Amino acid sequence: MAHPKYTLHQVAKTIDHALLRPDMSRDEVKAGCEVAMKYDVASVCCKPADVAFCADILRGSDVHVGTVVGFPHGNSATATKVFETKQVVADGATEIDVVINIGWMKSGMYDEVREEIAAVVAAASGNQVKVILENAYLTKEEIVKACQLCEAAGADYVKTSTGFAPTGAILEDVQLMRASVSSKVEVKSAGGVKSLDMLLSFMDAGVKRSGASGTAAMLDEFVERFGA
């Protein structure tokens, strides 16, 4: 029986296949790109040093090259985040996931947070920018405010987590984020999205992208349960 809401293609194109483990070898990165192409996911999300390598492998496919900036703690100087963004775009990245300055957010330095995100958006030169809020460290009120700052700064997405904090994507947070931005801004879940049912529940809550490393298992399960 087909899924009542989603096709295999729609689910696959929700996934940013994560290649961010610090100990990943180039062979593992290459294998990850091959999985991404086999399942025709939205993108790979790789380490900045692997962008050119992944872009070469994925050239000619329908899989985008994504990477991270200020990762995983968001503590780099704004100028460093801007430089890093320009470098990864030059190397072939078309999607940038940048970590918000969490300490500034906790300090109520909202103008600085917004201005930094806007600087990264400008440096991305029209490529997609997803801002990682790292919800594990924020109150519900701070999540709402951070979402509003991201939209004001011109970001394309707000994202739950890096996957390297104490907690990752939580359905309640996803729902709150979706309610805190307009339709111009999308929501990405990441961190602990390990099952098909979890991924589908996030999609139901309005998520357009989800970071995942268990891509093959989830999409194979979708085919088993709902067909291709």
Q: In this predicted model, what pLDDT tens digit does every residue of 140-190 receive, in sequence order?
A: 999 999 999 999 999 999 999 999 999 999 999 999 999 999 999 999 999
- CATH code for the domain of 62: 3.20.20.70
Q: Is the residue at 177 inside a domain?
A: yes
Residue 228 in this model has a pLDDT that exceeds 90: no
Per-residue model confidence as pLDDT tens digits over 15-27: 999 999 999 999 9
Q: By the 8 A CB rule, do 155 and 185 touch?
A: yes
Residue 228 neighbours by CB under 8 Å, 6+ apart = 8
Specify the pLDDT at position 135: 98
| Count of structural domains, the chain | 1
Percent of the chain residues past pLDDT 70, beyond the cut: 100
> What's the distance, CA 203 to chain centroid?
14
**Element spanning 148, H or E:** helix 140-152
Could you confirm whether 13 is annotated as catalytic?
no
Q: Mapping DSSP to helix (H, G, I), strand (E, B) and coil, where does residue 13 land?
A: coil
Per-residue model confidence as pLDDT tens digits over 85-97: 999 999 999 999 9
Judging by beta carbons within 10 Å of its beta carbon (0-12, 13-18, 19+), is residue 164 exposed, middle or buried?
middle
Q: Is the residue at 201 inside a domain?
A: yes
Q: Is the residue at 86 inside a domain?
A: yes
Could you confirm whether 159 is annotated as catalytic?
yes
Distances from the Cα of 27 to the Cα of 17, 19, 50, 57, 133, angstroms? 16, 11, 11, 12, 31
- What's the pTM value of the predicted model, to 2 decimals? 0.97
In the set 97, 130, 145, 173, the catalytic residue is 97
Instruction: Report the alpha-carbon distance of residue 174 to residue 171 in Å, rounded.
Output: 5
Q: For residue 35, what are the domain limits?
A: 8-226
CA dihedral sign, ordered 144, 148, 153, 158: positive
In the set 16, 81, 159, 173, the catalytic residue is 159
Percent of the chain residues past pLDDT 90, beyond the cut: 99
Extended strands (E) in 74-205: 95-99, 128-132, 157-159, 186-189
Q: Is the residue at 202 inside a domain?
A: yes
Q: Is the residue at 1 inside a domain?
A: no
Instruction: Report the alpha-carbon distance of residue 149 to residue 142 in Å, rounded.
Output: 10
Could you confirm whether 97 is annotated as catalytic?
yes
